[in-house]
């Protein structure tokens, strides 16, 4: 039995290699990761969309690890991008940190609340029993 979410990709919808159309999360504990910006451990906001996206995802990974789970248990990612940026750079940065893991993904063009932030990432993950 799988402890991680299971992708749902109806045959009548496009199958993306980067995201799933839906995810079935197993019953159990659920972690909701609040919005993470491209801020390092010292609190400094990194420069540029790629650096901020990579750092925001590393921050998500850190929260997952602290809760006893990992990226393989993420059912949903929501990525908020500043409307002024080209999302292509953010997608490349996501692949560099997140790899080929698939989750249900929503990308919104809204300015993150933190001044200077170009991206904010939140996640929902299942937490396997220890």
Mean per-residue pLDDT for 73-87?
96
Residues 20-63 pLDDT 10s: 999 998 889 999 999 999 999 999 999 999 999 999 999 999 99
pLDDT for position 98: 92
Mean pLDDT of the chain: 93
The predicted pLDDT at position 2 comes to 65
> Once rounded to an integer, what is the mean pLDDT over residues 4-31?
91
- Would you say 97 and 58 are in contact if contact means Cβ atoms under 8 Å apart? yes
**Is 130 a residue whose pLDDT tops 80?**
no
The confidence score (pLDDT) of residue 75 equals 96
Residue 1: is its pLDDT beyond 60?
Answer: no
Question: Chain centroid to CA 116: how far?
Answer: 20
């Amino acid at each position: 039995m799988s402890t991680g979410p299971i992708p749902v990709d109806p045959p009548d919808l496009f199958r993306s290699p980067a995201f799933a159309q839906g995810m079935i999360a197993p019953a159990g504990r659920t972690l909701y990761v609040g919005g993470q910006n491209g801020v390092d451990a010292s609190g400094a906001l990194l420069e540029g969309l790629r650096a901020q996206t990579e750092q925001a995802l590393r921050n998500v990974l850190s929260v997952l690890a602290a809760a006893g789970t990992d990226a393989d248990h993420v059912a949903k990612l929501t990525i908020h991008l500043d409307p002024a940026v080209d999302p292509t750079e953010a997608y490349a940065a996501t692949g560099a940190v997140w790899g080929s893991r698939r989750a249900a993904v929503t990308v919104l063009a809204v300015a993150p609340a933190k001044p200077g932030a170009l991206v904010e990432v939140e996640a929902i993950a299942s937490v396997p029993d220890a």
